[in-house]
Amino acid sequence: MTLNPADSSLFGGLFGTDEIRHLFDDRRRLAFMLEVEVALARAQAAVGIIPADAAEAIAKAADPSKLDLVQIRAETEKAGQPVMALAKALTQAAGAEAGRWVHWGATTQDITDTAQVLQLRAALDFIERDLLALIAALATQADRHRTTVMAGRSFLQQALPVSFGYKAAVWLAPLLRHVERLHQMRPRLLQVQFGGAVGTLASLGDKGRAVTERLAAELGLACPLTPWHASRDNLAELGAWLGLVAGSLAKFAGDVTLLAQTEFGELVETTEAGRGGSSTMPQKRNPIISTHIVAAAMGVEAQVPLLLAAQHHQLERAVGPWQAEALALPQALALTAGALAQSIRVADGMRPDGDRMRANLAITNGLVMAERVMMALADKLGRGEAHHLVQAACLAAMAENRPLREILGENSQVAGLLDPAALDVLMDPAGYLGESEAVVDRVVAVARTLLTQ
């Protein structure tokens, strides 16, 4: 039994990914900590603090498969963290002579934070890969449907014509910004943590900075200006970024659920057999993937306040906020990764129905084209009078349940300004897409440039 659906064998395929789950598996987490301990020993050997043969003995002894998880769990419950138990096990495995140099000058938070950064680096590699895959899928949809005309809606009401390609481009554009934000964030986030008890590295004398720089190089991480034991803005930034990504995915998935309503019927989420079926209603094809994307996004967004609050570290080392990060970050990463994986499935598999889109445009009896007619008349009458004239025609069309084209054609003032052929042109939704194709061109061009870098 699991408490979080993202970890469940039943629900894990809906709310997470195996890659992220594996990254935060207990043994893998300890393996990252061992990687940091080994890199620390090698860094200290390189600057002459510990013997080189001791560092290599520590490296050979650092085998996560040989760790006794039951014993480490028991000691973690006593100490509040697993690093002491891990260092003890590594000391014993390395032997008496080399083992005395294990964890030299480090504190628990150094190992835990740096190991977490290694986890985050791997997790963000997976997430960026899937972001790019989603970008590619939406760029394809935008390009393919650049002239597929449909109703654009405001306040959930039909407003003006757009194209489905335009809609896909609008879904896509924030994802491009998220990749840009990720690239900007990585150098700030992927920094080594090494400060000793309170950040001063006093136990290493004048070699503290040299060890920090060498440790960072060993792990391929940046070297911070100061230890960040009590400065957690970079992790809060990551949480906020995950929330932004989740929000964009929820917008996409939410639109899909609306367009897939029976009354709209403008797309199906996927044509995959059995997907979204009902146990009692054979006809149902529920947008079940998008449903779980929205739910996962809400879960991610719920973690953001906790990560922001976890910046409240007291003095040099925290009581509570540091520990709270562990409750939020893995869950936010897992749910974001799961929502991304599901979004790719929707973006690849969704099938817009252009005929139904055109049919839905017709249900207003042409009212959706009122602005175009008004703007054409405004050139001759001024905007205010044109608005009044067309609004009166719209009210008549609704009251009489007649096409707006007929009402306008019967109006002597309109007839004196627009001939029937001109009025027919003005009533064609396909001719009033404005910048839709230009938007598609711009967004798709940026996406393709990004995908070829």
Residues acting as catalytic residues: 278, 317
Phi, psi of 57, rounded to the nearest 5 degrees: -65, -40
CA dist 296 and 260 (Å) reads 20
CB 248 within 8 A of CB 181: no
Phi, psi of 418, rounded to the nearest 5 degrees: -130, 125
> Going by C-beta distance under 8 Å and a sequence separation of 6 or more, which residues neighbour residue 371?
160, 432
CB 16 within 8 A of CB 334: yes
CA dist 154 and 156 (Å) reads 5
CA dist 121 and 125 (Å) reads 6
- In angstroms, the Cα distances linking 209 to 196, 216, 223 are 11, 11, 9
Question: How buried is 273 (Cβ within 10 angstroms: 0-12 exposed, 13-18 middle, 19+ buried)?
Answer: exposed
Question: Six-digit token pair at 1?
Answer: 């039994």
Which SS3 state, helix, strand or coil, does residue 25 take? coil
CB 54 within 8 A of CB 62: no
CA dist 381 and 384 (Å) reads 8
Query: CB atoms < 10 A from the CB of 93, how many?
Result: 19
- In angstroms, the Cα distances linking 66 to 10, 41, 69, 93, 453 are 30, 20, 9, 9, 41
Question: Six-digit token pair at 151?
Answer: 């109703």
Query: CB atoms < 10 A from the CB of 300, how many?
Result: 27
* Angle, CA of 303, 167 and 448, to the nearest 5°: 85
Which SS3 state, helix, strand or coil, does residue 197 take? coil
